[in-house]
Structure 1
Amino acid sequence: MAHSKPKIPGTAQHFLECGFEDCERNCEFYCNSCHQQMCKPCRDQHLKIPENKNHEVVIYQLRRRQLPVKKCKIHPTKEVDIYCKDCNIPLCSKCSTMQEHQRHCFIDLESIYTEKFTLCQMELHKIYNYFVPTSQDLQREVQEDATRVKQIMDSIRTSMKVEAESLKNMVDTVLSDNMEELNQIEKSLLEKLKSQEKTFDDYIAYLSDLVKEFQSYLSSTELSNFTTQLPHNLKIKSIPETTKPVTPEFSSAQYRKNDVARLLGKVVKSDRNAELRRVKSMEIFPIAASMKSTSEQTKQDKDVKSDKKQTMSLSASVTKVREFKVPGVDHVYHVSLDQSDRLWISDYWGNLVQTDLQGNVIQKIKTSGRDQGYHTVTQDRNLIFTDQDKKVINRITQDDNITEFIKTGDWTPFSVHSSHINGDLLVGMRKDREGKVTRYNKTGKELQNIQSNNKGQGLYRYPHYITENINGDICTSDYNKDVVVVVNKSGQHRFSYTGQESRFVPYGICTDVLGHILVCDVSTDTVHLLDQDGQFLSLLFTRQQGVKFSCSVCVDDENNLYVGQYNTNTLTVYKYLQ
């Protein structure tokens, strides 16, 4: 269970007042010599006094801490205020004159105390403002991973049960077929034996009649019967020939437990190495920075400014930067960022071209793609694109070698996105009017299937564009359901967005460095801007602004927004962040 965030120890929450009597101005400075807080006018007056001319007056944040009052054990009338470096002990000024401390090096104890006090404050500030919240974030991530692991294990259990049930059904079917075949053989044999039985009935009846005939001769007293009526060369019909039934034999199958295991499949432990959790870097905290010396602080500010990434925000308006036509395509249905100066662009007819930012074609490929986000570029700069006809996902390496990377079985792959977080592939697929999103790792191993929400209801029908947000959310445009579906990295449904008008037809979708979701609505020729939680923020373009036919979007590393049109091969670049 996550603990609540500890509170930062109490610090001044109001304006400090000048410490001089009857002065109510705000404190800005501090005299380290007499430990007095003061405003600017009082500081000037304080330093004008001759005996104060050597006092050290600094801005309040750089003040030295006043030593707690502690009496010397050896000289009870004196206060401890110096530090002996040789003996590593605090002393009073009278102790420093003692024989055992002669020629020792002494330091102002107040300076050491201030340094250590400041160091403790800085460390406490880092603990409460970085280490504790970061640990709590990681703890929540661990809890989310535990939930995800349970879901995956439940999914595997379900799959195993389905496979076992399928095998049972197959066994029942084979048994039924065998039984039916045996019944037919039995019926045929019994019918043949019944026929043989009738043959013998007829033969026995014939013998019975023959016996009667012979007995009639034997009982007759007329000799003529033996000479005239009794047949010559009397011969009894031979016994009919019949065959014994040939019964079938049962050949039992020779199988072991491993044979059944191969039929059912088995759980295979992943060979992937566990990835270290990402720990966000610690920024310089204001309170810590304010405690450094002025020269050190100036240098620190310069370093922070040079290293710190510029904070981005939404601009008040969208500015068109440039536009260019892309030879080799008739439309711009999808754009994949290759590197800072190269793009992959596809049209409705399966033409996929690589171009620079001036529209010069570098290479061209013929694919089976249509109006889907069916290509992406990996972290290793390999092009990935789906083949809907063959139901495979192809990979083109930088040496232009095309290979079948993943086979998707009965599912037709439409959209694909390479994660910038971990390099996984997210693939939107469709089969029999049902859709799903499948996650594969870099080697093409299937990791996750996302198909239903926690109520068992299908999330997708036709996931034809797909992307990933900075928090790991999977964002999908569904053409058949007219909705943008967003699930978290564990596959749990977070929200669905259905637009602002009565008709919403989402196409191209992407995210930016701030976690915004940008999605094209081809029914109104607009680009909807959502926040990370699905709240509508604005329409970046409208028909009244002269923007029409927008269907694809892509944001590059410089926060430039590329918008493609479905009626021309024009690609337009905008600035919408500042």
Structure 2
Amino acid sequence: MSTVIMSEPSDEQAAMQHYLVCGTEDCQENGQFYCNDCHRPLCEHCRDEHVKNPDTKFHEIVLYRHRKHQLPVEKCKLHPTRNVDIYCKECKIPICSKCSTMKEHHRHEFDDLEEIYTEKYALQQGEFSKIQKDFLPNTKSLKSDIEADATKIQKLMESIRTSMKSEAESLKNLVDEVSSENIDHTHTMEKSLLEMLKSQETIYDDYIAYLGKMSDDFEHHLSLTNHKLLFSETLKIKTIPETTKPVDPVFTAGRFSKDDVAKLLGRVNISNAEPKKRKIQPMEAVTTQMKSTEKQLEQSNEKSDMKQTLSLSSSVTKVREYSVPGVGNVHHVSVEKSGRLWVSDYSGNLVQTDLQGNQLQKIQTSGREEGYHTATQEGDLIYTDKGNKLIYRITPDRKITEFIKTGEWTPVSVHSSRIDGDILLGMNMTQKNYWGLPVKKEAKVTRYSKAGKELQNIQRDNKGQELYSDPDYITENINGDICTSDYKKRAVVVVNKSGQHRFSYTGQGSLFIPYGICTDVLGHILVCDCHSETVHLLDQDGGFLSIILSSQQGIKCPLSVCVDDENNLYVGQRNTNTVTVYKYLQ
């Protein structure tokens, strides 16, 4: 008859059960105690009975979590009828009780093998717990980090490839442009030289005609009967006119190599910096991170739920109005999380107000009719200085500091991403000729990290064509698209996060003069059209949905729009310092 040993539940498994059943036959109570000698769980009543029983009153009874683990059954190889249950400290081997009486183990010290097994079991249980609570979460976190890095590298390299193609296409266009100019120059030079030679031909044609006339005159004199005239009148021949041979044009071939072209186009290199080791967090940090991740997921789910429940209202409702002191009109609005407003006008006045419209601070800037300020998720305000080509940051304690220097480029519009905190800048630069006169204006969008590090430049499409003329207002959609309102292009220009052109919106057939632009939680794009004095509502892909605001709602030349965290729409206009707030989602 074989003996069957039932495996006991681990501490974790026991904790997951509703309760552990008492090991006494026909007893179904909670076995919260444990007899280390009988190796079975006991309820409180059976424990008391166990202690009273003369046969078991000296058994060791402990709380279940402090129990000794039963030694697995192993038969002794020398004495097959005995179980191995003793440990010889001298020989360092497990033996049975009969082995301990043999002369090989005479005067040796012995330990209870079950005690050693319990100790080792506890150690292994601790290691198992480390795997579940520390090593496994850490490793999964590192793996997720690697996957995120791989995705980031793929996106970055795709962006670099797009930029390289754009630069190459731009260089090709420049080569074609210079080559075309050089060829045109040869035509002009050829025409000038041929005209000079034609003029010389005319000179000699005239001289040949003159010589013919002189020949006739000589012939006439020689044929005269009165030879006295021949002596009295002397004919003189004019000298042959001098002309110059043209200097032959010489073509000096450009001297360049593959390396020269590579220098023009740039290279992709890996930094010499030592790669940073991935941080393995202690168990407490892993636990905290898991809780933080759960909180983020919960917040994300809340936003997702809100998005699913929101939709466009059948009508737009005015909620409230703010009269902003210190500004003549409202060219741009930024709303802080607290609900306080930042408003700027055509004269460069930048004013902060509280929820009641009271002025809190006022700054004189170089901004005019652009979206040159933005509120961050951290509660700061960032604004551009066109004159000094700087970006400033204002902290909630009203401290103003320099944040980003833009070099030769003039910063026009700015937006702080609600997705990752990155800073998007719309910028332009005017190139001048030798005499200092403007000859060409370039524009681009640059992405900076929230710490002010330059990450990305977007200037041309895949065909090498300029994307922007004047990116006066800029924002970001929920899918990462960068949306700019370009006054001179008369268009809303939208690129994806990698900088690839997605679409351009140019209105509904009539003249379209875009100003302020923003997006909402549903991915809608809202843009002001100053010509028709309306606000257009577009879907995420640039499809026209409706005129959301017009003169019917009392709107006159809207210049700025902004949506806050409560999905309220703020609208500023040209000839008033009033900011009007509307509800358009339900």
Q: Shorter-chain TM-score: which interval?
A: 0.5 to 0.7
What corresponds to 2:343 in structure 1? 348
2:265 equivalent in structure 1: 264
Tell whether 2:491 aligns with 1:482. no
CA deviation map 1:544-565 (0-9, x unaligned): xxxxxxxxxxxxxxxxxxxxxx
Given candidates 384, 387, 398, the residue that maps to 2:384 is 387
Equivalent residue letter for 2:237: I
Q: Distance in 1 between matches of 2:446 and 2:567?
A: 21
Letter in 1 for 2:566: C
User: Within 5 Å, which residues of 2 pair with 1:396-435?
Assistant: 402-403=401-402, 405-407=404-406, 409=409, 411-416=411-416, 426-430=422-426
CA contact (8 A) 1:373 1:416 kept: no
Q: Tell me by how many angstroms 1:376 deviates.
A: 5.8
Measured after TM superposition, the shift of residue 141 of structure 1 is 2.9
1:347/1:371 contact within 8 Å kept: no
Query: What TM-score results when the alignment is normalised by the length of structure 2?
Result: 0.57
> Cα gap change, 1:252/1:403 in structure 2, threshold over 3 Å: closer, same or farther?
farther
Residues 1:485 and 1:243: Cα distance change in structure 2 (over 3 Å): farther
Matched, 1:440 2:449: yes
Would the aligned equivalents of 1:82 and 1:90 in 2 still touch at CA under 8 Å? yes
1:233 counterpart residue number: 234
Q: Which residue of 1 aligns with 2:487?
A: none
Q: Which moved more, 1:9-18 or 1:103-112?
A: 9-18
Following TM superposition, by how much is the alpha carbon of 1:165 offset from its aligned partner in structure 2, in angstroms?
Answer: 2.4
Give the superposition deviation at 1:191: 1.3
Alignment pair present for 1:127 and 2:131: yes
**Partners of 2:444 and 2:457 within 8 A in 1:** no
Please state whether the residue corresponding to 2:404 is helix, strand or coil.
strand
- Report the secondary structure of 1:199's partner residue: helix
Partner residue, 2:202: 198
Distance 2:219 2:88 in 1: 153
Counterpart in the other structure of 1:31:
35
Residue 536 of structure 1 is matched in structure 2 by none
1:462 aligns with 2:474: yes
Please say if residues 446 and 455 of structure 2, whose CA atoms lie closer than 8 Å, have aligned partners that are also in contact.
no
- Asked if the contact 1:464/1:507 (under 8 Å) is kept, the reply is no
- RMSD over equivalenced CA pairs, Å: 5.7
Amino acid at match of 1:181: H
The 2-side partners of 1:108 and 1:388 are apart by 82
Contact kept? 1:436, 1:463, Cα under 8 Å = no
Do the aligned partners of 1:82 and 1:107 also contact (CA within 8 Å) in 2? Answer: yes
Counterpart of 2:568 (choices 496, 509, 522) is: 522
Give yes or no for contact 1:386–1:416 (8 Å, CA) kept in 2: no
Task: Give the residue type in structure 2 aligned to 1:38.
Answer: L
CA distance in 1, matches of 2:262, 2:340: 46
Pairwise CA distance, 1:233: 1.0
Q: Which runs of 5+ in 1 are unaligned?
A: 1-7, 286-303, 315-327, 337-342, 453-457, 469-473, 487-494, 497-501, 509-518, 526-565, 569-578
Counterpart amino acid of residue 447 in structure 1: L
CA distance in 2, matches of 1:385, 1:127: 46
User: For residue 79 of structure 1, what is the aligned residue in structure 2?
Assistant: 83
Question: Residue by residue, what CA displacement relative to the aligned partner does 1:474-511 show, whole Å, maximum 9, x if unpaired?
Answer: 9xxx972432489xxxxxxxx99xxxxx9897645xxx
Post-superposition shift, 1:81? 1.0
Q: C-alpha distance in 2, partners of 1:261/1:284?
A: 47
Q: Which residue of 1 aligns with 2:245?
A: 244
Secondary structure, counterpart of 2:148 in structure 1: helix
Contact 1:436-1:450 at 8 Å conserved across structures? yes
Alpha-carbon distance in 2 for matches of 1:174, 1:386: 39
- Structure 2 gaps of 5+ residues are 1-9, 300-324, 429-442, 461-466, 481-496, 498-514, 524-539, 542-546, 550-560, 572-578, 582-586
Structure 1 vs Structure 2: percent identity of aligned residues? Answer: 41
Q: Indicate the SS of the match to 1:90.
A: strand
Q: Does 1:115 align with 2:119?
A: yes
Partner letter of residue 387 of structure 1?
A: T
Does 2:157 match 1:159? Answer: no
2:404 is aligned with what amino acid?
A: F
> Aligned partners of 2:20 and 2:448: how far apart in 1?
57
How far apart, in 2, do the equivalents of 1:128 and 1:229 lie? 135
1:413/1:51 CA distance change after superposition, 3 Å: farther
Question: TM-score, structure 1 length as denominator?
Answer: 0.58
Return the alpha-carbon distance in structure 2 between the equivalents of residues 450 and 96 of structure 1.
84
Contact 1:375 1:417 in 2 (8 A): no
Letter of the structure 2 residue corresponding to residue 412 of structure 1: V
SS of equivalent residue, structure 1 residue 237:
coil
Q: Which amino acid aligns with 2:342?
A: D
Residue 56 of structure 1: how far off its partner (Å)? 2.0
The alpha-carbon distance between structure 1 residues 462 and 198, as it changes in their structure 2 partners (threshold 3 A), is closer
Distance of 2:400 and 2:285 partners within structure 1: 47
Which residue number in structure 1 is paired with residue 503 of structure 2?
none
Cα distance change, pair 57–371 in 1 and its aligned pair in 2 (3 A): farther
1:407 counterpart letter in structure 2: T
The residue correspondences of 1:322-401 to structure 2 (distance < 5 A) are 347-348=342-343, 374=374, 385-390=382-387, 391-394=389-392
CA distance in 2, matches of 1:197, 1:231: 36
Q: 1:171 aligns with which of 162, 169, 175?
A: 175
Residue deviations 1:7-51 (CA, integer Å, cap 9, x gap): x99967866543322333444332111112333332322222122
In structure 2, distance between residues paired with 1:164 and 1:479: 34
What is the distance in 1 between the residues matched to 2:43 and 2:458? Answer: 64
Q: Aligned to 1:438, what secondary structure does the other structure show? A: strand
The equivalent residue for 1:89 is 93
Deviations, residues 99-142 of structure 1 (Å, cap 9, x unaligned): 55455443221122123234334433443555335423432331
Q: CA deviation at 1:166?
A: 2.0
